[in-house]
Amino acid sequence: MVHNSIHAEHIGSFIRPAKLLDAVRAHKAGKLDDASLTQITNDSIREIVAFQESLGLPSVTDGEFRRRSWSAGFIDAVQGFELRDGKLGFRSESKVIGVAASPYAKSPLKRKSRIVADDFRFLKSVVRNGIPKVTIASPDVMHFFLGPAAFEKEIYKDREAYFAALTALYREEVTDLAEEGCTYLQLDDTALPCNCDSHVRADVAARGENPDELNERYARLINESISNKPASMTIAIHLCRGNLKGAWMAEGGYDPIADALFNRVNADIYCLEYDSPRAGGFSPLRFVPKGKTVILGLLSSKTPQLESEDELKRRIHEAARYIPIEQLGISPQCGFSSVGGGGQVVTQDDTRRKLELVMSVAKDVWGHA
């Protein structure tokens, strides 16, 4: 299994190169045809794959270069989704940036195309060293931010009917990924970690839902969505409180979700945001059972400032008070470009320095990445 040996990770997305952004804009304006956009995208992916391989990273992604944003790959590939504003928005240390739009089922959900399986097929064809890893939004993300407003009642009579439709989509995709030879699938989850925020939990209660019940139901939803995966496919789940060019959506330690997350979600690897006090302390890791790996997201992709190697090692050993150190690893807390476009807070050079530090710390602490 992949997860038995990994101690250094990255979360998935990378800064889109200027040539790719220019190509996407030209294509949208009708000035570049489909074939030319595909060629430029493929070339950009080959380059980011080579970048990851040059660092010796154990897993390799396509940078999420085919998506508008981390979750858009899923939403764009599924017929029936529209967007509406929820209550939760992004904020930084100094300002509120705005309310986040979330998907809801306006009509019956059906895959228009394979969601990530075609992306994985190309990635696998160009990876020479490392494990090709594909990322996809976790199914609970499609419900949490709108709750009862996440589906039209005339389309799905209740939450269970909606969840059954979501489950079917994911199971179809997992089947396709397995047939393509995928052995490493990462679910990106902003729902469960936002359900750690006391203000958010109050909003959930105000709309008539129980935040603790949601934790348990989401664990089952995730498990149902991946229940047809082959034994050879490792599942990682990445938890993040939002990452929009340095901004976030929520704060609060993992305590409210820890038991359900670690003991009921059928994941092998947990990639946890831990780069700031907003994520709380390490004590919730006491719930992690043997046989599961926790990747500590100790480096921030929200700032170009490079972390201290000694401080990173100190925090790893602090976490090891609650979980055996062999079950731990290190990574950035999120991808380097969850959304595309300009205004990114880190550069490709910053990215290299951060990931070189991840590799260096992993080799010092565990003897290998």
d(CA 13, CA 119): 13
Start-to-end C-alpha separation, the chain: 15
Q: Shortest CA distance to 319 belongs to which of 366, 364, 285?
A: 285
Contact call for residues 227 and 233 (beta carbons, < 8 A): no
Q: Please list, in sequence order, all residues whose beta carbon lies within 8 angstroms of the beta carbon of residue 183, skipping any fewer than 6 positions away.
A: 2, 131, 132, 232, 233, 234
DSSP state of 86: E
- Average pLDDT over the chain reads 91
204 pLDDT higher than 70: yes
CB atoms within 10 A of CB 76: 15
In this prediction, residue 99 has a pLDDT band, given cuts at 50, 70 and 90, of low
| pLDDT tens-digit map of 164-202 | 999 999 999 999 999 999 999 999 999 999 999 888 898
CATH (residue range 2-366): 3.20.20.210
d(CA 331, CA 299): 6
Q: Shortest CA distance to 187 belongs to which of 179, 197, 177?
A: 177
Least confident interval from 46-55, 191-200, 238-247, 351-360: 238-247
123 pLDDT higher than 60: yes
Q: Is the pTM of this model over 0.85?
A: yes
CA angle in degrees (0–180, nearest 5) for 69-237-333 = 65
Domain ranges, ordered by start, for the chain? 2-366
d(CA 14, CA 20): 12
CA angle in degrees (0–180, nearest 5) for 296-356-337 = 70
